[in-house]
């Protein structure tokens, strides 16, 4: 495990002002996890702010010492987050066309 290496890299990365990139030690997953946290506008109730988070296990193959691969993976994880947000916000007549939460209700 390269927890301290991941921690060092994440301290130098940033995305949006309202988003935090955090490292979580292994407890839910066998490996450390990347956690994205933000306060965003609620797409289902515009005008309301909500706190959201996304947690994903850091793949074991990053145990090699290639920081650039890890940084690219962090970027791809952010892109998954943004796709999810776009799915919530892209609407036809006020209804999401590809609602990522349709099975949650």
Domain span including residue 15: 3-96
Residue showing tokens 């590809």: 98
What pLDDT is stored for residue 104 in this prediction? 78
pLDDT in tens, 71-98: 999 999 999 999 999 999 999 999 999 9
In a domain, 72, yes or no: yes
In a domain, 105, yes or no: no
More confident residue, 42 or 105: 42
- pTM of the complete model: 0.87
Closest Cα partner for 87 from 74, 103, 73?
103
Banded model confidence at residue 55, pLDDT cuts 50, 70, 90: very high
In a domain, 103, yes or no: no
In a domain, 46, yes or no: yes
Number of domains into which the chain is organized = 1
In a domain, 57, yes or no: yes
* DSSP-derived 3-state class of residue 26: coil
């Amino acid at each position: 495990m390269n927890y301290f290496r991941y921690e060092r890299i994440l301290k130098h990365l940033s995305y949006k002002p309202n988003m935090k990139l955090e490292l979580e030690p292994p407890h839910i997953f066998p490996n450390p996890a990347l956690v994205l946290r933000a306060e965003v506008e609620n797409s289902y109730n515009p005008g309301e702010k909500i706190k959201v988070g996304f947690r994903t296990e850091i793949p074991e193959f990053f145990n090699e010492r290639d920081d650039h691969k890890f940084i690219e993976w962090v970027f791809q994880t952010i892109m998954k987050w943004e796709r999810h947000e776009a799915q919530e916000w892209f609407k036809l007549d006020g209804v999401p066309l590809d609602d990522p939460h349709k099975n949650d209700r």
